[in-house]
Amino acid sequence: MTKTNKMEGIDEQSPWRDLTQGGFVYGEGNSAFFNTGDWRTKAPVWKQENCKQCLLCFPVCPDSSIPVEGGKRRDFDMFHCKGCGICAQVCPFGAIGMEVL
């Protein structure tokens, strides 16, 4: 087997020495560079007329998908929201609903 690309031709019969090393970060990066929102099966819907700007949803979002500018929340960052629904569960005013995609 000739090696031109480290992963080219790798299969379950390949010797372990030909495999790339796992568990290492080879470059910088974070989720800001990746559109992870397309993983979701449900999407949050912000009902702005019901929102009292209490900001209870903002700190519980595990994806930081609820932007706050000038002390007021804005619509969801759908590029990163994974649709977990935690924000809808903590909203006391029914300003966030979940929609099945």
pTM of the model: 0.68
Question: Collapsing DSSP states into helix, strand and coil, what is residue 98?
Answer: strand
Range of the domain at 78: 39-100
Interior angle at CA 74, CA 69 and CA 80, nearest 5: 105
Residue 37 — φ and ψ, nearest 5°? -70, -20
Q: pLDDT digit string (tens) for 60-91?
A: 999 999 999 999 999 999 999 999 999 999 99
Classify residue 10 as exposed, middle or buried by CB count within 10 Å of its CB (0-12, 13-18, 19+): middle
Q: pLDDT digit string (tens) for 20-42?
A: 677 666 666 666 777 888 889 99
Q: How many structural domains compose the chain?
A: 1
CATH of the domain at 48: 3.30.70.20
